[in-house]
Protein backbone atom coordinates (compact mmCIF):
# COMPACT_ATOMS: atom_id res chain seq x y z
CA UNK A 1 0.00 0.00 0.00
CA UNK A 2 2.68 2.43 1.01
CA UNK A 3 4.56 1.64 -2.20
CA UNK A 4 1.57 2.99 -4.05
CA UNK A 5 1.00 5.93 -1.78
CA UNK A 6 4.52 7.24 -1.31
CA UNK A 7 4.94 8.51 -4.89
CA UNK A 8 1.55 10.16 -4.49
CA UNK A 9 2.63 11.70 -1.21
CA UNK A 10 5.79 12.99 -2.85
CA UNK A 11 3.74 14.44 -5.66
CA UNK A 12 1.42 16.05 -3.13
CA UNK A 13 4.34 17.59 -1.26
CA UNK A 14 5.76 18.99 -4.50
CA UNK A 15 2.42 20.50 -5.46
CA UNK A 16 2.05 22.05 -2.02
CA UNK A 17 5.59 23.45 -2.19
CA UNK A 18 4.88 24.96 -5.61
CA UNK A 19 1.63 26.49 -4.38
CA UNK A 20 3.42 27.94 -1.37
CA UNK A 21 5.99 29.51 -3.71
CA UNK A 22 3.31 30.95 -5.95
CA UNK A 23 1.69 32.45 -2.86
CA UNK A 24 4.93 34.01 -1.67
CA UNK A 25 5.64 35.40 -5.14
CA UNK A 26 2.13 36.86 -5.24
CA UNK A 27 2.62 38.56 -1.86
CA UNK A 28 5.98 39.87 -3.05
CA UNK A 29 4.30 41.27 -6.18
CA UNK A 30 1.62 42.98 -4.10
CA UNK A 31 4.28 44.51 -1.87
CA UNK A 32 6.21 45.73 -4.91
CA UNK A 33 3.12 47.38 -6.39
CA UNK A 34 2.30 49.00 -3.05
CA UNK A 35 5.81 50.51 -3.00
CA UNK A 36 5.27 51.85 -6.49
CA UNK A 37 2.36 53.90 -5.16
CA UNK A 38 4.48 55.54 -2.44
CA UNK A 39 7.39 57.87 -3.16
CA UNK A 40 10.29 58.02 -3.76
CA UNK A 41 10.63 56.65 -7.28
CA UNK A 42 14.22 56.13 -8.41
CA UNK A 43 14.24 57.48 -11.99
CA UNK A 44 17.92 56.79 -12.62
CA UNK A 45 17.51 53.11 -11.71
CA UNK A 46 14.40 53.00 -13.87
CA UNK A 47 16.35 54.38 -16.84
CA UNK A 48 19.09 51.79 -16.38
CA UNK A 49 16.53 49.02 -16.12
CA UNK A 50 14.80 50.19 -19.30
CA UNK A 51 18.08 49.97 -21.19
CA UNK A 52 18.98 46.59 -19.71
CA UNK A 53 15.57 44.98 -20.11
CA UNK A 54 14.21 46.71 -23.20
CA UNK A 55 16.90 47.98 -25.49
CA UNK A 56 19.47 45.23 -24.94
CA UNK A 57 16.84 42.48 -25.40
CA UNK A 58 15.91 43.74 -28.87
CA UNK A 59 18.42 41.61 -30.82
CA UNK A 60 17.39 38.38 -29.07
CA UNK A 61 13.68 39.01 -29.44
CA UNK A 62 14.12 40.20 -33.04
CA UNK A 63 16.07 37.10 -34.10
CA UNK A 64 13.59 34.81 -32.38
CA UNK A 65 10.66 36.46 -34.16
CA UNK A 66 12.38 36.49 -37.56
CA UNK A 67 13.10 32.76 -37.60
CA UNK A 68 9.75 31.86 -36.07
CA UNK A 69 7.86 33.91 -38.66
CA UNK A 70 9.76 32.17 -41.44
CA UNK A 71 9.18 28.68 -40.08
CA UNK A 72 5.53 29.49 -39.44
CA UNK A 73 5.01 30.47 -43.09
CA UNK A 74 6.50 27.17 -44.29
CA UNK A 75 4.40 25.10 -41.87
CA UNK A 76 1.14 26.81 -42.68
CA UNK A 77 1.82 26.55 -46.39
CA UNK A 78 2.44 22.83 -45.99
CA UNK A 79 -0.55 22.26 -43.73
CA UNK A 80 -2.81 24.56 -45.74
CA UNK A 81 -1.96 22.70 -48.95
CA UNK A 82 -3.81 19.64 -47.61
CA UNK A 83 -7.13 21.44 -48.03
CA UNK A 84 -6.17 23.92 -50.74
CA UNK A 85 -5.79 26.83 -48.33
CA UNK A 86 -2.26 28.02 -49.19
CA UNK A 87 -3.63 31.50 -49.78
CA UNK A 88 -4.23 31.84 -46.00
CA UNK A 89 -0.50 31.87 -45.22
CA UNK A 90 -0.10 35.66 -44.83
CA UNK A 91 -3.08 36.18 -42.56
CA UNK A 92 -2.44 33.13 -40.39
CA UNK A 93 1.22 34.04 -40.00
CA UNK A 94 0.17 37.53 -38.94
CA UNK A 95 -2.54 36.39 -36.54
CA UNK A 96 -0.43 33.58 -35.08
CA UNK A 97 2.53 35.86 -34.56
CA UNK A 98 0.63 38.78 -33.09
CA UNK A 99 -1.74 36.91 -30.81
CA UNK A 100 0.37 34.01 -29.64
CA UNK A 101 3.92 33.41 -30.78
CA UNK A 102 5.18 36.98 -30.57
CA UNK A 103 4.24 37.51 -26.92
CA UNK A 104 4.98 33.95 -25.75
CA UNK A 105 8.34 33.47 -27.44
CA UNK A 106 9.33 37.07 -26.73
CA UNK A 107 8.33 36.61 -23.09
CA UNK A 108 10.27 33.37 -22.79
CA UNK A 109 13.38 34.88 -24.36
CA UNK A 110 13.15 37.85 -21.99
CA UNK A 111 12.67 35.40 -19.10
CA UNK A 112 15.86 33.60 -20.08
CA UNK A 113 17.83 36.77 -20.57
CA UNK A 114 16.42 39.14 -17.95
CA UNK A 115 15.01 37.04 -15.09
CA UNK A 116 18.38 35.28 -14.87
CA UNK A 117 20.43 38.44 -14.86
CA UNK A 118 18.17 40.20 -12.34
CA UNK A 119 18.22 37.19 -10.01
CA UNK A 120 21.99 36.81 -10.28
CA UNK A 121 22.62 40.50 -9.72
CA UNK A 122 20.28 40.90 -6.76
CA UNK A 123 21.34 37.52 -5.36
CA UNK A 124 24.98 38.57 -5.43
CA UNK A 125 24.03 41.82 -3.74
CA UNK A 126 22.28 39.79 -1.07
CA UNK A 127 25.22 37.46 -0.34
CA UNK A 128 27.78 40.28 -0.34
CA UNK A 129 25.66 42.28 2.15
CA UNK A 130 24.93 45.02 -0.38
CA UNK A 131 21.21 44.73 0.40
CA UNK A 132 21.99 45.22 4.10
CA UNK A 133 24.14 48.19 3.13
CA UNK A 134 21.21 49.69 1.20
CA UNK A 135 19.02 49.40 4.27
CA UNK A 136 21.58 51.11 6.49
CA UNK A 137 21.77 53.92 3.93
CA UNK A 138 18.02 54.51 4.45
CA UNK A 139 17.13 53.11 1.03
CA UNK A 140 14.39 50.52 0.79
CA UNK A 141 15.63 47.57 -1.35
CA UNK A 142 12.11 47.03 -2.67
CA UNK A 143 11.88 50.62 -3.92
CA UNK A 144 15.45 50.84 -5.16
CA UNK A 145 15.83 47.41 -6.77
CA UNK A 146 12.41 45.85 -7.45
CA UNK A 147 10.13 48.73 -8.38
CA UNK A 148 12.28 50.23 -11.18
CA UNK A 149 12.83 46.80 -12.76
CA UNK A 150 9.15 45.88 -12.43
CA UNK A 151 7.96 49.09 -14.10
CA UNK A 152 10.64 48.94 -16.78
CA UNK A 153 9.84 45.33 -17.70
CA UNK A 154 6.08 45.92 -17.73
CA UNK A 155 6.51 48.85 -20.10
CA UNK A 156 9.36 47.49 -22.22
CA UNK A 157 8.20 43.96 -22.99
CA UNK A 158 5.02 45.07 -24.87
CA UNK A 159 7.22 47.29 -27.01
CA UNK A 160 9.57 44.37 -27.61
CA UNK A 161 6.58 42.22 -28.50
CA UNK A 162 5.35 44.88 -30.94
CA UNK A 163 8.73 45.04 -32.63
CA UNK A 164 8.97 41.23 -32.60
CA UNK A 165 5.50 40.96 -34.20
CA UNK A 166 6.58 43.17 -37.09
CA UNK A 167 9.85 41.33 -37.55
CA UNK A 168 8.08 37.96 -37.38
CA UNK A 169 5.55 39.00 -40.01
CA UNK A 170 8.45 40.25 -42.09
CA UNK A 171 10.15 36.84 -41.69
CA UNK A 172 6.98 35.19 -42.99
CA UNK A 173 6.89 37.67 -45.84
CA UNK A 174 10.50 36.90 -46.83
CA UNK A 175 9.81 33.19 -46.91
CA UNK A 176 6.44 33.64 -48.59
CA UNK A 177 7.79 35.81 -51.40
CA UNK A 178 11.15 34.10 -51.95
CA UNK A 179 10.39 30.46 -51.26
CA UNK A 180 6.67 30.05 -51.78
CA UNK A 181 6.27 32.35 -54.79
CA UNK A 182 3.71 34.69 -53.28
CA UNK A 183 3.24 38.02 -54.96
CA UNK A 184 4.79 40.66 -52.68
CA UNK A 185 1.94 43.15 -52.87
CA UNK A 186 -0.71 40.46 -52.48
CA UNK A 187 1.08 39.02 -49.42
CA UNK A 188 1.12 42.41 -47.71
CA UNK A 189 -2.50 43.17 -48.59
CA UNK A 190 -3.59 39.79 -47.28
CA UNK A 191 -1.67 40.40 -44.04
CA UNK A 192 -3.21 43.81 -43.40
CA UNK A 193 -6.75 43.02 -44.47
CA UNK A 194 -7.35 40.23 -42.02
CA UNK A 195 -5.52 41.60 -38.99
CA UNK A 196 -7.73 43.28 -36.41
CA UNK A 197 -6.68 45.87 -33.89
CA UNK A 198 -7.70 43.62 -31.01
CA UNK A 199 -5.33 40.89 -32.26
CA UNK A 200 -2.44 43.27 -31.79
CA UNK A 201 -3.65 44.82 -28.55
CA UNK A 202 -4.35 41.48 -26.86
CA UNK A 203 -0.80 40.38 -27.71
CA UNK A 204 0.64 43.56 -26.24
CA UNK A 205 -1.38 43.11 -23.03
CA UNK A 206 0.09 39.62 -22.77
CA UNK A 207 3.54 41.15 -23.22
CA UNK A 208 2.97 43.56 -20.33
CA UNK A 209 1.86 40.74 -18.03
CA UNK A 210 4.85 38.60 -19.04
CA UNK A 211 7.25 41.48 -18.43
CA UNK A 212 5.78 41.95 -14.96
CA UNK A 213 6.18 38.21 -14.26
CA UNK A 214 9.81 38.21 -15.42
CA UNK A 215 10.85 41.16 -13.25
CA UNK A 216 8.97 39.92 -10.18
CA UNK A 217 10.44 36.41 -10.45
CA UNK A 218 13.97 37.75 -10.97
CA UNK A 219 13.72 40.09 -7.98
CA UNK A 220 11.93 37.58 -5.72
CA UNK A 221 14.45 34.78 -6.20
CA UNK A 222 17.37 37.21 -6.03
CA UNK A 223 16.17 38.72 -2.76
CA UNK A 224 15.60 35.25 -1.30
CA UNK A 225 18.89 33.86 -2.54
CA UNK A 226 20.74 31.44 -0.28
CA UNK A 227 24.25 32.09 0.95
CA UNK A 228 27.33 31.85 -1.25
CA UNK A 229 27.84 31.30 -4.97
CA UNK A 230 25.74 28.15 -4.84
CA UNK A 231 22.81 30.10 -3.42
CA UNK A 232 23.01 32.61 -6.27
CA UNK A 233 23.21 29.81 -8.83
CA UNK A 234 20.07 28.21 -7.43
CA UNK A 235 18.25 31.52 -7.29
CA UNK A 236 19.06 32.19 -10.94
CA UNK A 237 17.87 28.80 -12.09
CA UNK A 238 14.68 29.04 -10.03
CA UNK A 239 13.93 32.52 -11.40
CA UNK A 240 14.15 31.40 -15.02
CA UNK A 241 12.12 28.23 -14.46
CA UNK A 242 9.44 29.99 -12.42
CA UNK A 243 9.17 32.90 -14.86
CA UNK A 244 8.90 30.56 -17.87
CA UNK A 245 6.25 28.33 -16.35
CA UNK A 246 4.27 31.29 -15.03
CA UNK A 247 4.41 32.95 -18.46
CA UNK A 248 3.00 29.83 -20.12
CA UNK A 249 0.30 29.46 -17.46
CA UNK A 250 -0.61 33.14 -17.63
CA UNK A 251 -0.71 32.89 -21.42
CA UNK A 252 -3.30 30.17 -21.27
CA UNK A 253 -5.41 32.04 -18.75
CA UNK A 254 -5.24 35.32 -20.64
CA UNK A 255 -6.12 33.55 -23.88
CA UNK A 256 -9.19 32.03 -22.17
CA UNK A 257 -10.22 35.46 -20.95
CA UNK A 258 -9.70 37.08 -24.37
CA UNK A 259 -11.46 34.15 -26.01
CA UNK A 260 -14.49 34.58 -23.78
CA UNK A 261 -14.60 38.33 -24.28
CA UNK B 1 23.11 55.74 24.39
CA UNK B 2 23.00 52.19 22.93
CA UNK B 3 21.77 49.53 25.33
CA UNK B 4 21.45 45.82 24.65
CA UNK B 5 19.66 43.80 27.30
CA UNK B 6 19.73 40.00 27.33
CA UNK B 7 19.85 39.66 23.54
CA UNK B 8 19.53 36.13 22.17
CA UNK B 9 19.95 34.99 18.59
CA UNK B 10 20.15 31.51 17.08
CA UNK B 11 20.56 30.32 13.52
CA UNK B 12 18.99 26.87 13.59
CA UNK B 13 20.90 24.93 16.21
CA UNK B 14 23.71 27.45 16.27
CA UNK B 15 23.05 29.53 19.41
CA UNK B 16 25.17 32.54 18.61
CA UNK B 17 24.07 35.15 21.14
CA UNK B 18 22.93 33.82 24.51
CA UNK B 19 22.13 36.90 26.55
CA UNK B 20 24.29 39.80 25.44
CA UNK B 21 24.00 42.81 27.73
CA UNK B 22 26.01 45.86 26.82
CA UNK B 23 25.84 49.62 27.24
CA UNK B 24 27.62 52.08 25.01
CA UNK B 25 27.63 55.62 26.48
CA UNK B 26 27.14 58.64 24.21
CA UNK B 27 30.31 59.98 22.56
CA UNK B 28 32.36 56.95 23.53
CA UNK B 29 34.25 54.47 21.44
CA UNK B 30 33.37 50.90 22.31
CA UNK B 31 35.58 48.19 20.88
CA UNK B 32 34.27 44.62 20.69
CA UNK B 33 36.80 41.83 20.64
CA UNK B 34 36.32 38.09 20.61
CA UNK B 35 37.12 34.97 18.68
CA UNK B 36 36.15 34.45 15.08
CA UNK B 37 32.53 33.33 14.75
CA UNK B 38 31.47 34.36 18.25
CA UNK B 39 28.79 36.70 16.91
CA UNK B 40 30.38 40.13 16.93
CA UNK B 41 29.01 41.02 13.51
CA UNK B 42 25.62 39.60 14.44
CA UNK B 43 25.59 41.83 17.54
CA UNK B 44 26.03 45.09 15.67
CA UNK B 45 23.71 43.99 12.88
CA UNK B 46 21.00 43.36 15.44
CA UNK B 47 21.28 46.96 16.67
CA UNK B 48 20.60 48.11 13.10
CA UNK B 49 17.70 45.70 12.73
CA UNK B 50 19.46 43.77 9.93
CA UNK B 51 19.27 40.71 12.16
CA UNK B 52 16.11 40.14 14.19
CA UNK B 53 16.97 38.97 17.74
CA UNK B 54 14.97 36.03 19.11
CA UNK B 55 14.74 37.59 22.53
CA UNK B 56 15.93 40.64 24.44
CA UNK B 57 15.77 44.38 24.07
CA UNK B 58 17.84 46.87 22.13
CA UNK B 59 17.43 50.55 22.83
CA UNK B 60 18.98 53.65 21.34
CA UNK B 61 18.46 56.80 23.41
CA UNK B 62 16.07 54.84 25.59
CA UNK B 63 13.81 54.01 22.66
CA UNK B 64 13.25 50.50 21.33
CA UNK B 65 14.89 50.19 17.91
CA UNK B 66 11.88 48.42 16.43
CA UNK B 67 9.53 51.29 17.14
CA UNK B 68 9.18 54.63 15.43
CA UNK B 69 10.28 55.89 12.04
CA UNK B 70 12.90 53.57 10.59
CA UNK B 71 14.25 56.01 8.03
CA UNK B 72 14.87 58.66 10.67
CA UNK B 73 16.46 56.02 12.90
CA UNK B 74 18.81 54.72 10.22
CA UNK B 75 19.75 58.22 9.10
CA UNK B 76 21.65 58.57 12.38
CA UNK B 77 23.85 55.57 11.62
CA UNK B 78 26.87 54.80 9.49
CA UNK B 79 28.09 51.28 9.01
CA UNK B 80 31.25 49.76 7.60
CA UNK B 81 30.55 46.15 6.67
CA UNK B 82 33.15 43.45 7.23
CA UNK B 83 33.22 42.66 3.50
CA UNK B 84 32.94 46.27 2.37
CA UNK B 85 29.52 45.68 0.74
CA UNK B 86 30.15 48.31 -1.93
CA UNK B 87 27.56 48.62 -4.69
CA UNK B 88 29.43 47.23 -7.66
CA UNK B 89 27.10 48.83 -10.19
CA UNK B 90 28.11 52.31 -9.03
CA UNK B 91 31.48 54.08 -9.31
CA UNK B 92 33.41 54.68 -6.11
CA UNK B 93 32.35 58.28 -5.59
CA UNK B 94 28.64 57.42 -5.94
CA UNK B 95 29.14 54.69 -3.38
CA UNK B 96 30.65 57.15 -0.93
CA UNK B 97 28.07 59.83 -1.65
CA UNK B 98 25.14 57.38 -1.78
CA UNK B 99 23.22 59.08 1.01
CA UNK B 100 23.96 62.52 -0.38
CA UNK B 101 22.52 61.69 -3.79
CA UNK B 102 19.03 60.70 -2.64
CA UNK B 103 16.59 60.93 0.21
CA UNK B 104 16.50 63.48 3.00
CA UNK B 105 20.18 64.48 2.75
CA UNK B 106 20.13 64.97 -1.03
CA UNK B 107 22.42 67.65 -2.50
CA UNK B 108 23.44 68.73 -5.98
CA UNK B 109 25.65 66.11 -7.69
CA UNK B 110 28.80 68.26 -7.99
CA UNK B 111 28.65 69.06 -4.28
CA UNK B 112 28.08 65.40 -3.34
CA UNK B 113 31.02 64.44 -5.52
CA UNK B 114 33.25 66.98 -3.82
CA UNK B 115 32.33 65.65 -0.40
CA UNK B 116 33.00 62.10 -1.60
CA UNK B 117 36.46 63.03 -2.86
CA UNK B 118 37.24 64.76 0.44
CA UNK B 119 36.16 61.65 2.40
CA UNK B 120 38.24 59.45 0.11
CA UNK B 121 41.24 61.65 0.84
CA UNK B 122 40.67 61.17 4.57
CA UNK B 123 40.91 57.40 4.19
CA UNK B 124 44.09 57.75 2.12
CA UNK B 125 42.63 57.35 -1.38
CA UNK B 126 43.52 59.63 -4.31
CA UNK B 127 40.85 61.59 -6.21
CA UNK B 128 41.53 59.38 -9.27
CA UNK B 129 39.93 56.48 -7.39
CA UNK B 130 36.60 58.32 -7.45
CA UNK B 131 35.67 57.25 -10.97
CA UNK B 132 36.79 53.64 -10.71
CA UNK B 133 34.36 50.81 -10.03
CA UNK B 134 34.68 48.77 -6.80
CA UNK B 135 35.73 45.67 -8.77
CA UNK B 136 38.80 47.59 -9.97
CA UNK B 137 40.09 48.15 -6.42
CA UNK B 138 42.20 45.97 -4.16
CA UNK B 139 40.61 44.48 -1.04
CA UNK B 140 42.18 47.06 1.26
CA UNK B 141 41.09 49.91 -0.99
CA UNK B 142 37.51 48.58 -1.02
CA UNK B 143 37.58 48.50 2.75
CA UNK B 144 38.63 52.15 2.85
CA UNK B 145 35.91 53.14 0.38
CA UNK B 146 33.44 51.39 2.68
CA UNK B 147 34.85 53.42 5.54
CA UNK B 148 34.50 56.64 3.56
CA UNK B 149 30.88 55.73 2.81
CA UNK B 150 30.17 55.06 6.49
CA UNK B 151 31.37 58.51 7.54
CA UNK B 152 30.25 60.48 4.47
CA UNK B 153 27.02 61.85 5.91
CA UNK B 154 28.68 62.49 9.30
CA UNK B 155 26.34 60.27 11.29
CA UNK B 156 26.07 60.38 15.08
CA UNK B 157 26.57 56.65 15.54
CA UNK B 158 29.05 54.64 13.49
CA UNK B 159 29.74 50.91 13.45
CA UNK B 160 33.03 49.65 12.05
CA UNK B 161 33.28 45.93 11.39
CA UNK B 162 37.00 45.13 11.22
CA UNK B 163 38.14 48.46 9.74
CA UNK B 164 41.82 47.53 9.49
CA UNK B 165 41.82 43.89 8.35
CA UNK B 166 43.56 43.63 5.01
CA UNK B 167 45.43 46.92 5.41
CA UNK B 168 49.18 47.42 5.68
CA UNK B 169 50.50 48.58 9.10
CA UNK B 170 50.90 52.20 8.03
CA UNK B 171 47.41 52.41 6.56
CA UNK B 172 46.03 50.65 9.65
CA UNK B 173 47.65 53.41 11.71
CA UNK B 174 46.03 56.07 9.53
CA UNK B 175 42.59 54.45 9.87
CA UNK B 176 42.94 54.02 13.64
CA UNK B 177 43.80 57.72 13.94
CA UNK B 178 40.84 58.60 11.74
CA UNK B 179 38.37 56.64 13.86
CA UNK B 180 39.79 58.23 17.01
CA UNK B 181 39.41 61.70 15.43
CA UNK B 182 35.81 60.99 14.47
CA UNK B 183 35.01 60.20 18.08
CA UNK B 184 36.90 63.09 19.68
CA UNK B 185 36.24 65.80 17.08
CA UNK B 186 32.78 64.94 15.78
CA UNK B 187 31.61 63.53 19.09
CA UNK B 188 30.31 60.39 17.40
CA UNK B 189 29.39 57.26 19.30
CA UNK B 190 31.11 54.25 17.77
CA UNK B 191 31.24 50.49 18.04
CA UNK B 192 34.26 48.90 16.42
CA UNK B 193 34.95 45.21 15.93
CA UNK B 194 38.60 44.34 15.57
CA UNK B 195 41.11 41.55 16.09
CA UNK B 196 44.04 43.94 16.02
CA UNK B 197 45.27 44.79 19.53
CA UNK B 198 47.03 47.95 18.29
CA UNK B 199 43.66 49.15 16.99
CA UNK B 200 42.04 48.28 20.30
CA UNK B 201 44.55 50.40 22.20
CA UNK B 202 44.29 53.36 19.79
CA UNK B 203 40.55 53.42 19.24
CA UNK B 204 38.91 52.24 22.44
CA UNK B 205 37.45 54.17 25.34
CA UNK B 206 35.88 50.95 26.51
CA UNK B 207 36.44 47.33 25.55
CA UNK B 208 33.96 44.46 25.57
CA UNK B 209 34.89 40.88 24.98
CA UNK B 210 32.30 38.53 23.51
CA UNK B 211 32.72 34.85 24.25
CA UNK B 212 30.27 31.94 24.30
CA UNK B 213 27.39 34.21 23.40
CA UNK B 214 27.77 36.60 26.32
CA UNK B 215 29.91 39.63 27.17
CA UNK B 216 32.72 37.98 29.10
CA UNK B 217 34.38 41.19 30.21
CA UNK B 218 33.60 44.88 29.77
CA UNK B 219 35.48 47.89 31.05
CA UNK B 220 37.56 50.96 30.28
CA UNK B 221 40.64 50.40 28.13
CA UNK B 222 42.89 51.48 31.02
CA UNK B 223 41.72 48.52 33.09
CA UNK B 224 42.07 45.92 30.39
CA UNK B 225 45.66 44.90 31.03
CA UNK B 226 45.22 44.63 34.77
CA UNK B 227 41.93 42.73 34.59
CA UNK B 228 42.17 39.19 35.94
CA UNK B 229 39.67 37.60 33.59
CA UNK B 230 41.49 34.54 32.19
CA UNK B 231 39.55 34.61 28.91
CA UNK B 232 40.43 38.25 28.32
CA UNK B 233 44.08 37.70 29.20
CA UNK B 234 44.38 34.72 26.89
CA UNK B 235 42.79 36.72 24.06
CA UNK B 236 44.81 39.92 24.36
CA UNK B 237 48.08 38.04 24.64
CA UNK B 238 47.15 35.62 21.87
CA UNK B 239 48.06 32.51 23.86
CA UNK B 240 47.15 29.09 22.49
CA UNK B 241 46.84 27.73 26.07
CA UNK B 242 43.98 28.86 28.28
CA UNK B 243 40.27 28.56 28.96
CA UNK B 244 39.35 29.34 25.33
CA UNK B 245 39.77 26.13 23.40
CA UNK B 246 41.42 26.42 20.02
CA UNK B 247 40.21 23.45 18.00
CA UNK B 248 43.05 21.91 16.07
N1 LIG C 1 22.63 34.95 8.15
C2 LIG C 1 23.16 33.92 8.84
N3 LIG C 1 22.65 32.69 8.72
C4 LIG C 1 23.15 31.65 9.39
N5 LIG C 1 24.18 31.73 10.27
C6 LIG C 1 24.74 32.93 10.45
C7 LIG C 1 24.26 34.09 9.74
N8 LIG C 1 25.01 35.14 10.13
C9 LIG C 1 25.91 34.67 11.02
N10 LIG C 1 25.74 33.35 11.21
C11 LIG C 1 26.51 32.50 12.14
O12 LIG C 1 26.66 33.21 13.34
C13 LIG C 1 27.92 33.01 13.89
C14 LIG C 1 28.56 34.34 14.23
O15 LIG C 1 28.77 35.07 13.06
P16 LIG C 1 29.45 36.50 13.05
O17 LIG C 1 29.56 36.92 11.62
O18 LIG C 1 28.74 37.40 13.97
O19 LIG C 1 30.90 36.18 13.64
P20 LIG C 1 32.03 37.22 14.03
O21 LIG C 1 32.15 37.21 15.50
O22 LIG C 1 31.77 38.52 13.37
O23 LIG C 1 33.31 36.49 13.41
P24 LIG C 1 34.53 37.11 12.56
O25 LIG C 1 35.46 37.68 13.52
O26 LIG C 1 35.10 35.91 11.88
O27 LIG C 1 33.94 38.09 11.62
C28 LIG C 1 28.70 32.17 12.90
O29 LIG C 1 28.76 30.85 13.40
C30 LIG C 1 27.89 32.23 11.63
O31 LIG C 1 27.97 30.99 10.98
MG1 LIG D 1 32.44 39.45 11.79
pLDDT of residue B247: 64
Task: Please tell me the predicted confidence (pLDDT) of residue A52.
Answer: 92
Q: How many domains does chain A fold into?
A: 1
Q: What is the pLDDT of residues A9-34, one digit of tens each?
A: 888 888 898 888 899 999 999 999 99
In this complex, the residue of A121, A125, A138 whose CB is nearest that of residue B99 is A138
* A140 → chain B, closest CA residue: B71
CA distance A256 to chain B (A): 42
CA–CA separation, A240 and A248 (whole Å): 12
How far is the centre of ligand 2, averaged over its atoms, from the C-alpha of A14 (Å)?
37
Do the Cβ atoms of A138 and B74 come within 8 Å? yes
In the sheet that holds B157-161, the strands lie side by side as B77-80, B157-161, B189-193, B29-33, B206-211, B214-220
For residue B141, count other CB atoms closer than 10 A to its CB. 22
Distance CA A131, CA A141 (A): 7
The answer to whether A239 touches A218, Cβ cutoff 8 Å, is yes
Q: Any idea which of A140-144, B100-104, B153-157 has the lowest mean pLDDT?
A: B100-104
Query: Of the ranges B9-13, B36-40, B182-186, which one carries the lowest mean pLDDT score?
Result: B182-186
What is the extent of the structural domain holding A134? 2-259
**Which residue has the CA at smallest separation from atom 3 of ligand 1?**
B11
pLDDT of residue A216: 96
For the CA of B44, the nearest ligand? 1
Q: Which of B140, B139, B150 is nearest to B174 (CA)?
A: B140
Q: What is the structure's pLDDT at B104?
A: 79
- Give residue B248's pLDDT: 59
Q: Whose CA is nearest to atom 18 of ligand 1?
A: B39
Alpha-carbon torsion (A138, A143, A149, A151), positive or negative:
negative
Report the percent of chain A where pLDDT is more than 90.
70
Instruction: Output the pLDDT for position A1.
Output: 60
- As a whole number of angstroms, the distance between CA A52 and CA B229 comes to 58
DSSP E strands in chain A: the ranges are: none
List, for residues A146-159, the tens digit of each pLDDT value: 999 999 999 999 99
Give the model's confidence band at A182: pLDDT under 50 very low, under 70 low, under 90 confident, else very high.
confident
Q: Indicate if ligand 1 lies below 6 Å from the C-beta of B82.
A: yes
Average per-residue pLDDT in chain A?
Answer: 92
**ipTM (interface pTM):** 0.88
Q: Is B79 within 8 Å of A138 when comparing Cβ atoms? A: no
Residue B37 Cβ inside 6 Å of ligand 1? The answer reads yes
Instruction: Indicate the residue of B75, B87, B88 with minimum beta-carbon distance to A138.
Output: B75
Cβ–ligand 1 distance for B38 under 6 Å, the answer yes
Measured between beta carbons, which residues in chain B are less than 8 angstroms from residue A130?
A: 85-88
B165 CB less than 6 Å from ligand 1?
A: no
B59 DSSP 8-state letter: E
Q: Which residue of A has its CA nearest to B47?
A: A136
Is B171 a residue whose pLDDT tops 70? yes
The answer on pLDDT for B105 being more than 90 is no
What would the pLDDT profile of A51-104 be if each residue is shown by its tens digit?
A: 999 999 999 999 999 999 999 999 999 888 888 888 888 889 999 999 999 999
Amino acid sequence: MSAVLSPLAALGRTVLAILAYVGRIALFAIEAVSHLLRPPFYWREFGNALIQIGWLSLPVVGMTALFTGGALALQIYDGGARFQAEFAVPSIVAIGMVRELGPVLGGLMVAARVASSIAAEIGTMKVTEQIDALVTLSTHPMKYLTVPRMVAATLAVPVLVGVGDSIGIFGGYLVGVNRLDFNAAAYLKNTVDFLELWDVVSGLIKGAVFGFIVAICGCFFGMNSGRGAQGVGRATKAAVVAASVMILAANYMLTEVFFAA
Amino acid sequence: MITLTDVHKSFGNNHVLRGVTLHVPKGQSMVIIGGSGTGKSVTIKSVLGLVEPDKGQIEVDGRDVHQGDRDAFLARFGMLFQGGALFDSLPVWQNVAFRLLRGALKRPRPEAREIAIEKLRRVGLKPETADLFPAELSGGMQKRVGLARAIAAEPEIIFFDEPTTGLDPIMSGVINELIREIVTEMGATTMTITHDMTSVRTIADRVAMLHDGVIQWEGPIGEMDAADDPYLQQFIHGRAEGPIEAVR
